[in-house]
Structure 1
Amino acid sequence: MINTMTHIWDDTVLPFQLDASDIRGRVARLDGVLDEVLRQHDYPPQIEALVAEMALLTALIGQTIKLRWKLSLQVRGDGPARLIATDYYGPTEDGQPARIRAYASFDRDRLLAHVRDEPFDLIGKGYFAILIDQGKDMAPYQGITPIAGGSLSACAETYFAQSEQISTRFALSHGRPTEPGVEEGWRAGGVMLQHMPKASPYASGEGGSGEGGLLTASDILDDDGQENWNRANLLLDTTEDLELIGPSVSPTDLLVRLFHEEGPRVFDPQPIRFGCTCSSERVRQSLSIYSAKDIAHMTTEDGIVTADCQFCGAHYEFEPETLGFEATKAP
């Protein structure tokens, strides 16, 4: 019998630290958030799997950003899955939930020819990017690394090794598990480990042992750090998909099962909700750079300008006379 009390961990990220190993991490569980993200669209199963993995990565990475900051992850490729994009909005106040949204762009015709391919293989060649918007009057940060490693989580690990020189490991699982008496729905869960950053004598800038000479976690650790890192990774390898996804095992129980000898210490969990920032005013602002002639080209036969949000599916309609820098009518 499943203990329903563990459902209180759904849609949360729990930060923790392994005091004996100089390793920090997060445990994430996404349930309703993932269903909200995916129900906005009619994605094929392979694309749903990519979006689910990307949303889980975003929750795990995003937990570290400051209040009111925005974290974006993007994967662009030349395969049938052209773009996977996610946004994480930091809480506006301490104790408030963070918000996540996500969407994918894909070539449906090309996808039909690759129905037996693994989801990651649909991306092809491209890049994995992390962008951080710190707010007004602050220059945004952007880091990019090539698609490599065989999974989105491997791409993220390579990004942290290459761009941040932080040894990072993800163990992720997602799917649509069924429970007696519970409606089937998407669930995802995962663990993120990071070795506390220190100056490494091995990060020389001469390339690493990863695909295409990219740095890996082992390239940026000294001997003591490598021993601790290897031990934590071996312990993480023992976890099972159902332990990651839950809900029968709570994140705190999972940490004790995996790392009880490493001195796990948990911090306040971060709740996460689905949330989109689109609005008619934002759409209107985005169209303010266009002339009346440009707006005329956007006007439908019904005499309106329409816009749809790629993230949440919201539909907006405007009078063309109220749009652009040559608007002749107030909204």
Structure 2
Amino acid sequence: MTFGQKLAWDDTVLPFQLDASDIRGRVARLDGVLDGILKQHNYPLQVEALVAEMALLTALIGQTMKLRWKLSLQVQSDGPVRMIATDYYAPEAEGEAARIRAYASYDADRLTDGGAMDQLGKGYFAVLIDQGEGTTPYQGITPLNGVSLAESAGAYFAQSEQLPTRFSLSFGRASFPGGAESWRAGGIMIQHMPKASPFVAKAKAEAEGAVLAAADLVDGEEGENWNRVNILLDTVEELELIGPSVPPTDLLVRLFHEEGPRVFDSTTVRFGCTCSEERVRQSLSIYSAKDIARMTTDEGLVTADCQFCSAHYELDPTTVGFEAKEASNG
């Protein structure tokens, strides 16, 4: 795929509502964000694809976060890719950009020639919401279903939130004329607020030992609306999701014009890491001088590397740990 210059709707998430269907959703386009995330590591192609999909899901789900809240998604598996972790930091103030970071942990010698999902074994998909200091973080998990990370995310919303949810995603390498390849991603998330009896559906699913799906949560007119919008979403094309020729607003009209689409203010997203020397010092503040000595390298330094952005920190061991702080305060 070859594309031209960067567009105004790259690295944005646009929320919308379908008034005729009582369905809400979001359209995301990621460009520079993925470059920022993936250039930090030399991932194999299958791992890059998994990280790109997780970053796109994080942008779509995270857009609902209130100011200064944090959303974390995590995949744990017993396959070659052991873990994928992402963070979404909501804007600090109205009009500012949200920040996303992501990384993956994997066993290179266990990677196969199969597709991205073949690198994940049995495991789970987890969502963590941190509302800030003085609050208890919320966490929910659902088993990986082996189809896609998007399908696992949809299962999470059905099972843990009782919200019928679907993701349609596209991502891959693209190239500018005469330029190097880079990753682009785009996706649509739709979500129906259930008015029926989701807790009855959940109880039935649990009794049968099954995981809830979106279709289990809607019936009657709501079910018809949900099915109709899903059929319309099935018509979306890959280039409409990630390509430069169709703005998100035009895409919504093309797909859902009879559903009364209404858009709201978009959110800009960028790659951003929160690591710092101060945070490293804080994490080491629980250790004694004896513990710090065990962490000291032959060069006489305590070192730390950020898994998200690959930043490298080198600290004087006499300046870290709770005993060093006591000495400096005395």
TM class by shorter chain equals over 0.9
C-alpha contact (below 8 Å) 1:172/1:189 kept by paired residues = yes
- Deviations along 1:28-77, one digit per CA (max 9) or x if unpaired, are 00000100000000100000000000000000000001000000000000
Report SS of the residue matched to 1:76: strand
Counterpart position of 2:72: 72
Following superposition, the deviation at residue 182 of structure 1 comes to 5.1
Q: How many Å separate the matches in 2 of 1:14 and 1:63?
A: 9
Q: How many Å separate the matches in 2 of 1:209 and 1:121?
A: 30
| Stretch of structure 1 that moved more, 173-182 or 265-274 | 173-182
Counterpart position of 1:264: 261
Counterpart position of 2:152: 155
Q: How many Å separate the matches in 2 of 1:100 and 1:183?
A: 23
Following superposition, the deviation at residue 121 of structure 1 comes to 2.1
Counterpart position of 2:21: 21
Q: How many Å separate the matches in 2 of 1:295 and 1:208?
A: 48
Report SS of the residue matched to 2:54: helix
1:99-118 to 2 correspondence within 5 Å? Answer: 99-111=99-111, 114=112, 116-118=113-115
Report SS of the residue matched to 1:9: coil
Counterpart position of 1:247: 244
Q: Which of 305, 308, 311 pairs up with 1:311?
A: 308
Distance 1:196 1:40, change over 3 A: same
C-alpha contact (below 8 Å) 2:67/2:92 kept by paired residues = yes
Report SS of the residue matched to 1:242: helix
TM-score (norm 1): 0.94
1:14-53 to 2 correspondence within 5 Å? Answer: 14-53=14-53
Report SS of the residue matched to 1:170: strand
Counterpart position of 2:11: 11
Q: How many Å separate the matches in 1 of 2:235 and 2:105?
A: 35
- Deviations along 1:60-96, one digit per CA (max 9) or x if unpaired, are 0000010000000000000000000000000000111
Q: How many Å separate the matches in 2 of 1:244 and 1:290?
A: 49
Report SS of the residue matched to 1:83: strand
Counterpart position of 1:206: 204
Report SS of the residue matched to 2:323: coil
Following superposition, the deviation at residue 292 of structure 1 comes to 1.2
Following superposition, the deviation at residue 123 of structure 1 comes to 1.3
1:75-224 to 2 correspondence within 5 Å? Answer: 75-111=75-111, 114=112, 116-181=113-178, 183-200=180-197, 203-207=201-205, 213-224=210-221
Q: How many Å separate the matches in 2 of 1:282 and 1:56?
A: 27
Report SS of the residue matched to 1:265: strand
Identity %: 69
Q: How many Å separate the matches in 2 of 1:12 and 1:187?
A: 12
Following superposition, the deviation at residue 209 of structure 1 comes to 11
C-alpha contact (below 8 Å) 1:209/1:219 kept by paired residues = no
- Look up the equivalent residue of 2:77 and give its one-letter code: G
Q: How many Å separate the matches in 2 of 1:3 and 1:122?
A: 30
C-alpha contact (below 8 Å) 1:208/1:216 kept by paired residues = no
Report SS of the residue matched to 1:185: strand
Q: How many Å separate the matches in 1 of 2:5 and 2:183?
A: 19
Report SS of the residue matched to 1:326: helix
Q: How many Å separate the matches in 2 of 1:330 and 1:183?
A: 51
Q: How many Å separate the matches in 1 of 2:166 and 2:178?
A: 35
- Look up the equivalent residue of 1:207 and give its one-letter code: A
- Deviations along 1:243-286, one digit per CA (max 9) or x if unpaired, are 10121111011101100111000000000011000000000000
C-alpha contact (below 8 Å) 1:209/1:216 kept by paired residues = no
Q: How many Å separate the matches in 2 of 1:109 and 1:126?
A: 20
- Deviations along 1:211-249, one digit per CA (max 9) or x if unpaired, are x61000110112111101111111111111111012111
TM-score (norm 2): 0.95
- Look up the equivalent residue of 1:162 and give its one-letter code: Q
Report SS of the residue matched to 1:46: helix
Q: How many Å separate the matches in 1 of 2:280 and 2:64?
A: 29
C-alpha contact (below 8 Å) 2:80/2:108 kept by paired residues = yes
Distance 1:5 1:15, change over 3 A: farther
- Look up the equivalent residue of 1:130 and give its one-letter code: V
Counterpart position of 1:285: 282
Gap runs ≥5 in structure 1: none
C-alpha contact (below 8 Å) 2:4/2:176 kept by paired residues = no
Counterpart position of 2:319: 322
Q: How many Å separate the matches in 1 of 2:6 and 2:41?
A: 29
Q: How many Å separate the matches in 2 of 1:260 and 1:131?
A: 35
Counterpart position of 1:55: 55
- What is the number of equivalent residue pairs in this alignment? 326
